[in-house]
Amino acid sequence: MENIRTDSDGALWSAASSGNIKAEELLIKRYSVVVRQCTRPYFLVGGDSEDLIQEGMLGLLYAIRSYEPARDTSFKTYAERCIRNRVYSAIRAAMRFKHRPLNDSISIESDEIQTLSSGILHNPEELVITRELTEELKVRLADSLSKFEKRVLDYFLEGLSYSYIALKLRKPVKSVDNAVQRIRRKLLQ
């Protein structure tokens, strides 16, 4: 394997399956275009195109690690199938009702709250800062919300649908939707 960049997919897969990290990286790089082509026509509820691409890349890794040349199919065909299967699974999982509270969740995009959404805390100092930011966010939000908006937010965070919240509060669904939109705007301020 003198010139790894010009090797066929089969030769690269063979080297990668033998533990050659460079061959695996080259296969991933070579097939990143295929991943993008496979994910382009789809939409992930509660995510964006990069999330789907990441799922496709996981499918590609699975293909690299589980391909069996004896099955009489090319690596490219097998990789495309694995990529598409992973993407379809992600889309189906995102559309399940049990994920609805996550898919309808309020976006926290401000820079000061970024550590909250990352979910990664490396030391106790970050934990304390995150708790302080969370409390500050709650106080700021509580001061700016009306009584109705607070009730809508509580139900919404419990994972209830707009129609169920409207039923509980004896208001039209459109009123609940408007309240959620106002809450989002206030949260981003």
CATH number at residue 120: 1.10.10
Same domain, 135 and 174: yes
CATH code (residue 31): 1.10.1740.10
189 closest CA partner among 125, 110, 82: 110
Rounded to whole angstroms, the Cα distance separating 134 from 126 reads 12
Which of 60, 80, 98 marks a domain boundary? 98
- Show the domain range for 124: 104-188
Same domain, 125 and 183: yes
Same domain, 83 and 135: no
Same domain, 46 and 69: yes
Same domain, 81 and 132: no
To the nearest whole number, what is the mean pLDDT of the chain? 78
Same domain, 154 and 176: yes
Residue-wise pLDDT for 68-109, tens only, equals: 888 888 888 999 999 999 998 888 877 765 555 555 554 544
Quickly state the pLDDT bin for 110 (edges 50, 70, 90): very low
Q: Model pTM greater than 0.85?
A: no
pLDDT given for residue 83 in this prediction? 92
Half-sphere exposure of 136 (CA within 13 A, CB side): 9
Which of 98, 122, 143 marks a domain boundary? 98
For 146, the enclosing helix (H) or strand (E) is none
Can you state the percent helix, strand and coil of the chain, rounding each to 5?
A: 75, 0, 25
Which of 65, 98, 131 marks a domain boundary? 98
Residue-wise pLDDT for 121-172, tens only, equals: 456 776 677 667 766 766 777 778 888 988 887 787 677 888 888 899 999 9
Domain count, the chain: 2
